[in-house]
Amino acid sequence: MSFTAPIQLPGLTLDPQWFRRSVFYEVMIRSFVDSNGDGSGDIAGLVSKLDYLQWLGIDGLWLPPFFDSPLRDGGYDISDYRAILPEFGSIDEFRDLVTKAHERNMRIVIDLPLNHTSDAHDWFQQSRADPDGPYGDFYVWSDTDKKYEDIRIIFVDTEESNWSFDPVRRQFFWHRFFSHQPDLNYENPAVHEAMFEIVRFWLDLGVDGFRLDAIPYLYESEEGNGEGEPKTHEFVAKLRKMVDREYPGRIMIAEANQWPREVAAFFGSEDEPECHMAFDFPVMPRIFYSLRSQTAGELIRVLSEVTEIPEGAGWGVFLRNHDELTLEMVSEEYRQAMYGWYAYDPRMRANIGIRRRLAPLLDNSRAELELAHALLFSLSGSPFLYYGDEIGMGDNIWLPDRDSSRTPMQWTPDRNAGFSTADPGKLFLPVVQSLVYNYALVNVESQLAQSRSMLHWVRNVIHVRKAHPAFGLGSLAVVPTNHESVLSFVRSYAGSSTQWGDAPERILCVFSFAHNPVSVTLSLLEFAGRRLNDLFGGAEFPTIGDDGSVTLTLGTQSFYWLHIGQAGADVY
Ligand SMILES: OC[C@H]1O[C@H](O[C@H]2O[C@H](CO)[C@@H](O)[C@H](O)[C@H]2O)[C@H](O)[C@@H](O)[C@@H]1O
Ligand SMILES: [Ca+2]
């Protein structure tokens, strides 16, 4: 893949591969900090916490939509792509956010739902009122709801059909998500142009990239299944060309909840690149499966599958995000097992997934939280943290839909968890007050004051990861073991000098999902005779035998990151 030289933006290091070295943080503006006491988080509030995020080691923010919206789908129902929802702030405040983030060498990636708008968008209002007008063909209209009948429904909890009848235009319109979110008609070149202009608008304001929301669903056909159809890929490649030509260095991230080969298609090819990054949906539920089943087999299987992606492209790895923990990428048998372990109360489910936060999912087990994060920070791809997970925030399953895990960030034990000075009844969502996760117990301030807190642990691991380019840029090779509960792989990177000199950096990662201590033998023939040292404290581990085997003991649900010494070296 060839890169046009990026233009250096003030404050940012010039690095065409910045996204592969970055640790990202998903922050919902509405949920983070309320600067003016109106009960809703806002841009100025986020700006006030940039120092905190920088201290944590965050290099990039992913901001879910903050545009004008009736907020019937957390902002993914946009009524004006160029306007900021007034309660979140203004364009000037957004400019200030970009400047202040860049001053800290932190990038801003914004969410771009390209597939659909809100039915309150002026385009839809004009489209339904005037079929022959300039927006008449902006949406997918039909006289019948019998088209594309094989295309699945995504929001199975609320939708019975992908078609809804519009009483104004007296036709059906197509929607892959809520019936208030009509799909745009990408068969219409004017829609392409309109979207390109919106992309340019935000790039001109200095954003560093886009998460392309629900990207597989742009086109539908009778022959295909409406997911990643050839014309969808053509559009994404065309968008990439424009971004590379006009805004080199800015990135596109695919949100495609699909199998590895289908997701990988969103990277495009060397000649026809599409996205720089794509979220790894198949690996995520398998982390949760391994934690409860005490087996590493499913993770080993997906990690062993070689999915070729273009040179320079990268995966995005995550544990949780603002949506339900989707189980679309596991078999029915595994899905049922996971519902049993993680969503024993039907209230915990949403669509095909589980609407809970990380800490409650893992029953607030520190060992499991550390193990899950150690995977997040060492798997192939850039890690995306979800706001609040760094302190083990809880959720509120009594709230509707995915609001259960979008509650206000817990900063202090004071009123409204330090999120807002508003009357508590005025908050957009109540703060978590459950027995275990009550904001008086779980908050940033108290965790800053405890050196062994989850927050300090997460920060430390982030900094260790960032000291080793193999994690961001290296390859991953699964290591055979003799224990079904153990996952092991080697991350290797030969590209640049490290604290150990110019020799390739190799890191052995070992994870035990067993609920009791284990002894495991690894087979590392290629590294016979090499020394192993712990990446955190430097402690020396058993040297790999001449036959390539090494036996390690691991405590309950624990892990190691070990530096593999150079051949013949007697120190590491
Ligand atoms: O705008 C509609 C939705 O778009 C994204 O959806 C994704 O989330 C779904 C689950 O909530 C998932 O099943 C689907 O595959 C994704 O495309 C966005 O992240 C959602 O918040 C939004 O409702
Ligand atoms: Ca506010």
pLDDT at 6: 58
Which amino acid, 458? V
Determine whether the shortest distance from the Cβ of 298 to ligand 1 is under 6 A: no
- Whether the pLDDT of residue 572 is over 90: the answer is no
Q: Is the dihedral of CA 365, 370, 371, 377 positive or negative?
A: positive
- Whether the pLDDT of residue 127 is over 60: the answer is yes
Does the annotation mark 197 as catalytic?
Answer: no
Does the annotation mark 547 as catalytic?
Answer: no
In tens, the pLDDT along 150-183 reads 999 999 999 999 999 999 999 999 999 999 999 9
Residue pointed to by tokens 């070689």 = 306
pLDDT-based confidence at residue 323 (cuts at 50, 70, 90): very high
pLDDT-based confidence at residue 13 (cuts at 50, 70, 90): confident
What number is the average pLDDT over the span 207-224?
Answer: 97
- Whether the pLDDT of residue 568 is over 80: the answer is no
pLDDT at 570: 57
Give the residues across from 533 on adjacent strands.
Answer: 540, 563
Q: Counting ligands in written order, which one lies closest to the CA of residue 408?
A: 2
**What angle, 0 to 180 degrees and rounded to 10, lies between the N-to-C axes of helices 297-304 and 283-293?**
150
Catalytic entry in 34, 183, 244, 255: 255
Residue whose Cα lies nearest atom 15 of ligand 1: it is 257
Catalytic entry in 213, 229, 324, 370: 213
- Whether the pLDDT of residue 361 is over 80: the answer is yes
- Whether the pLDDT of residue 456 is over 90: the answer is yes
Which amino acid, 557? Q
CA dist 277 and 255 (Å) reads 9
Cα-to-centroid distance, 183 and ligand 1 (Å): 13
pLDDT-based confidence at residue 307 (cuts at 50, 70, 90): confident
Q: Which two tokens stand for residue 139?
A: 């949406």
Give the residues across from 138 on adjacent strands.
Answer: none
- Whether the pLDDT of residue 2 is over 60: the answer is no
CA 172 vs CA 46, 180, 182: distances in Å? 41, 13, 10
Cα-to-centroid distance, 427 and ligand 2 (Å): 9
Q: Report the candidate in 316, 400, 410 with the shortest Cα–Cα distance to residue 359.
A: 410
- Listed in sequence order, the DSSP H helices in 423-572 are 444-448, 454-466, 469-473
Percent of the chain at pLDDT > 70 equals: 97
- Whether the pLDDT of residue 429 is over 70: the answer is yes
Determine whether the shortest distance from the Cβ of 213 to ligand 1 is under 6 A: yes
- Whether the pLDDT of residue 119 is over 60: the answer is yes
Are 290 and 487 a contacting pair, CB within 8 Å?
yes
What number is the average pLDDT over the span 425-435?
Answer: 98
pTM of the model: 0.96
pLDDT at 5: 55
In tens, the pLDDT along 40-95 reads 999 999 999 999 999 999 999 999 999 999 999 999 999 999 999 999 999 999 99
pLDDT at 502: 64
Q: Report the candidate in 521, 522, 511, 468 with the shortest Cα–Cα distance to residue 491.
A: 468
CA dist 81 and 424 (Å) reads 31
CA dist 125 and 169 (Å) reads 10
Which amino acid, 270? E
> For the chain, which domains are there?
118-183 (3.90.400.10), 475-564 (2.60.40.1180)
- Whether the pLDDT of residue 571 is over 60: the answer is no
Ligand 1, atom nearest to 115 Cα: 1
pLDDT-based confidence at residue 430 (cuts at 50, 70, 90): very high
CA dist 372 and 525 (Å) reads 28
Q: What is the SS3 assignment for 522?
A: strand
Determine whether the shortest distance from the Cβ of 407 to ligand 1 is under 6 A: no
pLDDT at 1: 40
Pick from 323, 327, 349, 355 the residue to mutate for probing ligand 1's pocket: most ligand atoms within 8 Å of its CB: 323
Q: Report the candidate in 28, 168, 49, 25 with the shortest Cα–Cα distance to residue 100.
A: 49
CA dist 512 and 539 (Å) reads 19
Cα-to-centroid distance, 180 and ligand 1 (Å): 14
- Kindly provide the ipTM of the predicted complex, given to two decimals: 0.92
Report how many helices (DSSP H) and strands (DSSP E) the chain contains, helices first: 17, 23
Determine whether the shortest distance from the Cβ of 76 to ligand 1 is under 6 A: yes
pLDDT-based confidence at residue 3 (cuts at 50, 70, 90): very low
Q: 235: part of which helix (H) or strand (E)?
A: helix 230-246
Percent of the chain at pLDDT > 90 equals: 93
Q: Counting ligands in written order, which one lies closest to the CA of residue 279?
A: 1
Cα-to-centroid distance, 226 and ligand 1 (Å): 15
